[in-house]
Each structure stands twice: as structure tokens, then as C-alpha cells.
């Protein structure tokens, strides 16, 4: 029986963080796994009222089938959106106008009006090809990578027209549309590349030599921020900023071993999760003074799952942890530290 539309009452629980005594809210029940989509996608409605997330709450057997849910951040209840058979949870995203939800279910890309929940297939990955990544441009372009017969290609869909943006012998393992520009950033061969959505202007970004971890656009689209791992293991992981137009790459701050990073709406503050077992914290980093503030413990068994993100108004941070059982979604309010922002960065 189809379960889409089913409502779930609030499951949240509040507790003081053991390290800072700030209030933390566990939004989902750790008896079953739940989590969020890729941080670069639109997981929140523009006014920070709702969260798009996944959960195994609706599993009908021991396989733990994951489905998409809409969480009411003011009232606490959830509504099931999908009846998928192989949901790619990292592809869940609102459309730029908040009216639709997009996701991959197996090889098929679907668009579903949030009000009606009647999904329609808009693309199917060819047999034999493997898809990686998914991103949505501000103009509504849908972009993802397909690998087939030793070649990787970025596929773009715009106004129901599908075209090949770029092709590479190297595997494309991540891509992110550039805010406010018709360009997409992607990673191939361990390097970051930028290309126009029509395939023109392809170029490699000149980043700091060494290992590049988490990379994302700031919301204005002016620069890319990324975590850089120095060759010396005794040195701290640094947060760097790259400007494609200016051709510059500079260090913003040293971090307490961040494994992931995400900016708020005006990129004045960043949130990150530490991969240090001794200091398993969610933190914020103030750009102006290059100072970190500890918000709470995450105590996740794998720090890579935490991936904290700001709500569009910058008043809360949400993250994932399995500290109380299976992975669950947590929230901590940061209004005392971070000024409220509008949903549309300057």
C-alpha cells in the first residue's frame, strides 16, 4: 500500500549539551536511521520553515528502505513524500521555487510537486551507465554525471532538453552548480574544474597543492571554499577560499581538524564538524576574527556523517549523528552568535 502522505507526530527531544550546556534538539527518533541530503542541494524551504530529509521510519521489511519526508521545523511533525524502491538520499532537493521535490529513484530522475506528490520521470540513466552526483542550477538546470565505457560525462537537462555538457576520461565524482551563474563546478582526477552549462569555458581552478576535501560555493557564487589537508599530518586542516574570476586562492583560517564545512547565507560564518575523536564537536568559525566557537558534541561513530548546515536564516544549525542509536537529525539554535540573514544573499 502506498504510504506517501502519511503524517508522523513530533519525535523531538531536547537536552543540554554535556560540553557547552547549549540546548540541542534531536529531531528524529534514533530507533531508525534518518539523515539529510547533500549539503549543496536545497534541503530547506526559503523561509527556514521545512526540512527535506530521508528516513527508514517507513521501512516495511528488514532492508530498511529509505523514503523522503518533509519536516515541519516549527511544529515538529513529518509527512512522507515518496514510495521509492531505491531512493538516492543524496539527490533529494527542492526546486529553486520550493514548489517541487527532485530525486533519483534507482536510474530514474523524478520531479514531484510538493503539494500533489505525483512524481513524474524526467530522465532515465542509460543501461550500463553509472550515475554520480546531482545538482540544480538557479535557472532550474538539472545536472549530474554518468560514467559509461571508461568515459565520464556531465549531463544537463534544461526545459526538458537533455544535452551533454562535458566529457572526461577521468571519473567525475562530485559536481555543484554555481549560484547566480550558468556554470557548474566538478571534481575529476582530484582537481576542481569549472565549465559553463553549455560546455564552453572549461578550466581548472588553481587550488593549493595537496589534498582537497569538502568544497562548496558560498551562496553568492563569488568564491569556492574548501578544506585543505597539508602534507604534514601534524599541521592543521585549513579553510581556503578560491576566486575563479580573480584567479586567487587564500587561506581563511586554520581549523580544529574540520572534516566538512558549510557557510551561512552571507558567508560571514562557517559551520564544521571536527574529525578529532578527542574533540568530536560541531563548531562555528567567524570569518572576521578567524575564531572558532564550540556549539555541541556530535560524538558520531563516523564524523563524515555529521555534515552540519545552516538554515537559510542562519539562526539554526542541523547535523546528523548516531550518538544515541541509529543516525538521527539534530538541531542547535545559534541566534546568540550569528545575525539573522535573508534567504537571498547579496
Quick count: other Cβ atoms within 10 Å of Cβ 297? 18
Look at residue 111 in the predicted model and tell me its pLDDT: 95
Out of 1-5, 112-116, 294-298, least confident range: 1-5
Tell me the three cell numbers of residue 84: 521509492
pLDDT exceeds 50 at position 1? no
Max CA pair span of the chain: 56
pLDDT exceeds 80 at position 201? yes
Q: For residue 343, name the pLDDT band (cuts at 50, 70, 90).
A: low
Out of 158-162, 273-277, 314-318, least confident range: 158-162
Element holding 92 (H helix, E strand):
strand 87-94
Q: For residue 115, name the pLDDT band (cuts at 50, 70, 90).
A: confident
Task: Find where cell 566538512 sits.
Answer: 260
302-314 average pLDDT score = 97
Tell me the pLDDT tens digit for each residue of 121-160.
Answer: 999 999 999 999 999 998 889 999 999 989 999 999 998 8
Look at residue 50 in the predicted model and tell me its pLDDT: 94
Which of the two residues, 105 and 64, has the higher pLDDT score? 105
Backbone angles phi, psi at 196, to 5 degrees: -70, 155
282-290 average pLDDT score = 96
Tell me the three cell numbers of residue 264: 551561512
Sign of the CA dihedral running 206, 208, 213, 217: negative
Q: Looking at the DSSP assignment, which residues form a beta bridge with residue 16?
A: 23
Look at residue 344 in the predicted model and tell me its pLDDT: 56
Look at residue 231 in the predicted model and tell me its pLDDT: 81
307-331 average pLDDT score = 97
High-pLDDT (> 70) share of the chain, %: 96
Tell me the pLDDT tens digit for each residue of 252-276.
Answer: 999 989 999 999 999 999 999 999 8
High-pLDDT (> 90) share of the chain, %: 81
100-111 average pLDDT score = 96
Q: Are 254 and 272 in contact (CB under 8 A)?
A: no
4-31 average pLDDT score = 94
CA distance 58 to 35: 14
CA angle 81, 173, 164 (to 5 degrees): 85
Tell me the pLDDT tens digit for each residue of 176-192.
Answer: 999 999 999 999 988 99
CA distance 284 to 220: 20
Look at residue 114 in the predicted model and tell me its pLDDT: 81
Taking alpha carbons only, the member of 98, 119, 96, 97 closest to residue 108 is: 119
pLDDT exceeds 50 at position 93? yes
Tell me the three cell numbers of residue 224: 569556492
What the chain holds in terms of domains, given with CATH numbers, is 7-124+205-333 (2.130.10.10)
40-62 average pLDDT score = 85
240-258 average pLDDT score = 95
pLDDT exceeds 70 at position 221? yes
Q: Are 318 and 295 in contact (CB under 8 A)?
A: no
Task: Find where cell 520521470 sits.
Answer: 121
Which residues have a Cβ under 8 Å from the Cβ of 176 and sit 6 or more positions away? 40, 135, 184, 185, 186, 215, 216, 217
Task: Give the chain's count of helices (H) and strands (E).
Answer: 0, 30
Question: 23-26 and 161-168 as β-strands: parallel, antiparallel, unpaired?
Answer: unpaired
Look at residue 59 in the predicted model and tell me its pLDDT: 67
pLDDT exceeds 60 at position 62? no
Amino acid at each position: 500500500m502506498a504510504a506517501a502522505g502519511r503524517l508522523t507526530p513530533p519525535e523531538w527531544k531536547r537536552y543540554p549539551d554535556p560540553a557547552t550546556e547549549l540546548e540541542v534538539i534531536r529531531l528524529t527518533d534514533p530507533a531508525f536511521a534518518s539523515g539529510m541530503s547533500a549539503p549543496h542541494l536545497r534541503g530547506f524551504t526559503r523561509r527556514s520553515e521545512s526540512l527535506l530529509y530521508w528516513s527508514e521510519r517507513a521501512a516495511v521489511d528488514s532492508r530498511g528502505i529509505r523514503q523522503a519526508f518533509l519536516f515541519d521545523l516549527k511544529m515538529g511533525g513529518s509527512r512522507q513524500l515518496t514510495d521509492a524502491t531505491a531512493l538516492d538520499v543524496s539527490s533529494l532537493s527542492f526546486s529553486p521555487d520550493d514548489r517541487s521535490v527532485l530525486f533519483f529513484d534507482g536510474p530514474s530522475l523524478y520531479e514531484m510537486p510538493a503539494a500533489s506528490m505525483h512524481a513524474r520521470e524526467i530522465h532515465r540513466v542509460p543501461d550500463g551507465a553509472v550515475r554520480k552526483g546531482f545538482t540544480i542550477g538557479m535557472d532550474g538546470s538539472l545536472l549530474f554525471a554518468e560514467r559509461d565505457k571508461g568515459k565520464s560525462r556531465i549531463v544537463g537537462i534544461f526545459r526538458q532538453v537533455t544535452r551533454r555538457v562535458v566529457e572526461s576520461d577521468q571519473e567525475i565524482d562530485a559536481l555543484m552548480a554555481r549560484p547566480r551563474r550558468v556554470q557548474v563546478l566538478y571534481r575529476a582526477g582530484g582537481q576542481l574544474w569549472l565549465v559553463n552549462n553549455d560546455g564552453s569555458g572549461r578550466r581548472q581552478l588553481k587550488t593549493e597543492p595537496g589534498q582537497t576535501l569538502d568544497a562548496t560555493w558560498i551562496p553568492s557564487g563569488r568564491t569556492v571554499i574548501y578544506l585543505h589537508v597539508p602534507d604534514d599530518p601534524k599541521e592543521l586542516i585549513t579553510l581556503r577560499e578560491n576566486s575563479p574570476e580573480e584567479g586567487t586562492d587564500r587561506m581563511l583560517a586554520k581549523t580544529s581538524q574540520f572534516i566538512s564545512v558549510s557557510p551561512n547565507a552571507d558567508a560571514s560564518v562557517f559551520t564544521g564538524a571536527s574529525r578529532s575523536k578527542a574533540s568530536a564537536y560541531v563548531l562555528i568559525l567567524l570569518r572576521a576574527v578567524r575564531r572558532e566557537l564550540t556549539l555541541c558534541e556530535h560524538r558520531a561513530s563516523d564524523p563524515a556523517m555529521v555534515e552540519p548546515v545552516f538554515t537559510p536564516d542562519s539562526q539554526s544549525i542541523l547535523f546528523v549523528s548516531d550518538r544515541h542509536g541509529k543516525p538521527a537529525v539534530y538541531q542547535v539554535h545559534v541566534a546568540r552568535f550569528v545575525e539573522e540573514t535573508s534567504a537571498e544573499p547579496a
